[in-house]
Amino acid sequence: MRFLGLVEEHRVTTVTLDARTIDPSPCGFLAALADQLGLPAGNDPFPALHDLGPLLLVVDTFERCAGLQGWL
């Protein structure tokens, strides 16, 4: 709970992905991220991430995409 308080206090945007619902590939990860950010399919999420300022990316069930560790 303290962690969440710090996130709110410092106005950090939180984006959550559930690895159970994404293709465990770089393209799949980026597509899920773009979708979570409300971007149209096929859009590059990196410019939008830059515009958000401080960001916390939470990946639930990360073990499903553990093969992406080096890429991430």
pLDDT tens-digit series, residues 49-68: 888 888 888 899 999 988 99
Q: In angstroms, rounded to a whole number, what is the distance separating the alpha carbons of residues 51 and 67?
A: 28
If one counts every other C-beta atom within 10 angstroms of the C-beta of residue 33, the result is 20
What confidence score (pLDDT) does residue 20 get?
Answer: 94
Phi, psi dihedrals of residue 60, rounded to the nearest 5°: -75, 145
Residue 1's pLDDT is: 58
Task: Find the helix or strand (DSSP H, E) in which 26 lies.
Answer: helix 26-36
User: What pLDDT is attached to residue 28?
Assistant: 94
Mean pLDDT of 35-43: 91
Q: Take residue 43 and report the two structure tokens written for it.
A: 């859009």
pLDDT for the residue numbered 27: 94
Q: Check residue 25 and give its pLDDT.
A: 94
